[in-house]
Amino acid sequence: MTLTVLSDEQVNSIFESLNLDELEEFRAVLASGLHEFSTGSQVDGADAFQQPHRITTLHPETKATTLYMPSCGPEGMGCKIVSLTTSAATQDPSVKPISPTGVVNLFSPGGELTGVVHASSLTAFRTALGSACLLLRRNHVRDITVFGSGSQAYWHVRLALMMRGSTIRHVYIINHRFSESAGQILKKFSIIPQAVKEREGWSTAKFSILTPSFHEFDRLQKEHIRASDVIYCCTPSRKELFDAHILTNHEGRKKGRLIVAVGSFTPEMRELPEALLHQVTRHNDKHDKPHRHFHKHAEEGGVIVVDTLEGVLQEAGEIISAKIPATHLVELGELVMLHRLRVEESEAEASASDANSEFERTDTTDTGSAMSSVYGNQISRPSSPASSASSNHKSTFHLPFRTKSGSSSDSEKKKKEDHMVRWLRDGTVVYKSVGLGLMDLVVGTHLVDVAAKKNIGTRIEGF
């Protein structure tokens, strides 16, 4: 068995050099794994993916918190080990801050060690890759706001530029202070070769950074958020990053946005305001008649998309604080089932889009089945007993494709599916991710394969 060892610099070099087809291969691998996990697919009577909850230790001297994240899947087994100091620990001036650092260990199904991969860039990339599954089908991706300036912020914007660069005009970076990392993120984008920028279509995109030290910070932050089609929250914040009113009042709700929160991962942390979460999970009474009014709002799905239901309910501070029930959460992996929608639905909707929308879709989306271009062409399989609502990590939100046979007409199911596809494409979608080990497993395994083909990394034969 050959062991491949990849440093963070080598991992970065592989990710930065990906062309669109190679990036799509990574996305498809992750999407397939999330789908198998969320739908409870089984192999020989056992779940195809097994995802135990992470455990932590606290070093008594350095106050380093270490997280251990195991996973098991068809590819083999994996365990990520990451150490860092929490914001609470660094309140003590005697504690030396430790930036997140660690390693992903990968094993074959037979237990042989096949990969040791530095975790920093891999973690940021695979998290952004999950968010990109929702980004890819958005109708409008022109203006982006990102909170934070670390690796998560960089890779979320970087993948957006790779996938939708030809339509992106502005990237607004908002940071709580003008730190070294804030300057570095701008530099990282500026040093990307001009030929790459032109190939990806964003050579004329404008980047700016905003911190509270700026004059009229509140006004500028509000303008950036309101103007944005996509908002990325990538900070380990312990308080809401912006006032909910910016997006929950009539003006804020006119425009649909993709809002991604990946930075907070403990019950004490939070990035998104509670009022926003309550707004997007509010269901209109089914007996209410459609009506036109002066304030037209973007569609809201009545649900928050999450990477892992169980993990979010235990770790996502904003979800816990807002008391969002499991019935209003749906796992990202389940949405792949929406690709069963007819080709003509997507084509008809696309033809009704305005000229700007049509221009944006030119090189970035396919007008095939509504979700297959996002999640690949895997065939949806019938729900197994493990995919019922009683399973530990399964959502109880009633997606159209969960309707039992005979409980509604095909036309009713089609309307529900059509609404959900329109919502994912044009409406206000909130995605909360706390991360799960299987993302490291499937993306890390594919990364090792790609590294071998590109002859990158240290390879130890017969380990």
Q: What secondary structure does DSSP assign to 27-50, as a single string?
A: HHHHHHHHHHHHTT-EETTEESSB
pLDDT higher at 353 or 262: 262
Q: Name the residue among 379, 381, 352, 394 with its Cα closest to residue 139.
A: 352
Q: So what's the pLDDT on residue 182?
A: 82
Residue range 442-449: mean pLDDT, rounded: 98
Q: So what's the pLDDT on residue 42?
A: 67
- In tens, the pLDDT along 240-258 reads 999 999 999 999 999 999 9
Q: So what's the pLDDT on residue 368?
A: 34
Q: So what's the pLDDT on residue 364?
A: 36
Q: So what's the pLDDT on residue 363?
A: 40
Q: Is 61 exposed, middle or buried (0-12, 13-18, 19+ CB in 10 A)?
A: exposed
The percentage of the chain sitting over the pLDDT mark of 90, rounded to a whole number, equals: 65
pLDDT higher at 351 or 104: 104
Q: So what's the pLDDT on residue 283?
A: 64
Q: So what's the pLDDT on residue 17?
A: 95
Residue range 355-384: mean pLDDT, rounded: 36
Residue range 131-159: mean pLDDT, rounded: 95
Has residue 54 got a pLDDT over 90?
no
Q: How confident is the model at residue 362 (pLDDT cuts 50, 70, 90)?
A: very low
Q: So what's the pLDDT on residue 191?
A: 96
Q: So what's the pLDDT on residue 288?
A: 40
Q: How confident is the model at residue 418 (pLDDT cuts 50, 70, 90)?
A: confident
How far is residue 355's CA from residue 142's CA, in Å, rounded to a whole number?
A: 14
Has residue 18 got a pLDDT over 90?
yes
How far is residue 49's CA from residue 47's CA, in Å, rounded to a whole number?
A: 5
pTM of the model: 0.83
Q: So what's the pLDDT on residue 463?
A: 87
Q: So what's the pLDDT on residue 421?
A: 85
Q: So what's the pLDDT on residue 337?
A: 54
In 266-316, where do the E strands start and end? 304-306
β-bridge pairing 304-306 and 429-432: parallel
- In tens, the pLDDT along 315-348 reads 999 999 999 999 999 999 998 656 543 333 444 4
Residue type, 424: L
Which range of 84-88, 145-149, 421-425 scores highest in mean pLDDT? It is 145-149
- Mean of the per-residue pLDDT values for the chain? 83
Residue range 449-463: mean pLDDT, rounded: 95
Residue type, 21: D
Residue range 47-75: mean pLDDT, rounded: 92
User: How many alpha carbons fall within 13 Å on the CB side of residue 15?
Assistant: 25
Which range of 49-58, 106-115, 331-340 scores highest in mean pLDDT? It is 106-115
* Torsion angle (degrees, nearest 10) of CA 265, 13, 228, 255: -80
| Beta pairing partners, 174 | 147, 210
- For 404-415, give the DSSP string: PTTSS-HHHHHH
Q: So what's the pLDDT on residue 374?
A: 32
Q: So what's the pLDDT on residue 174?
A: 96
Q: How confident is the model at residue 176 (pLDDT cuts 50, 70, 90)?
A: confident
Has residue 104 got a pLDDT over 50?
yes
Tokens at 47, concatenated: 């779940």
- Cβ atoms within 10 Å of 220's Cβ, excluding its own: 15
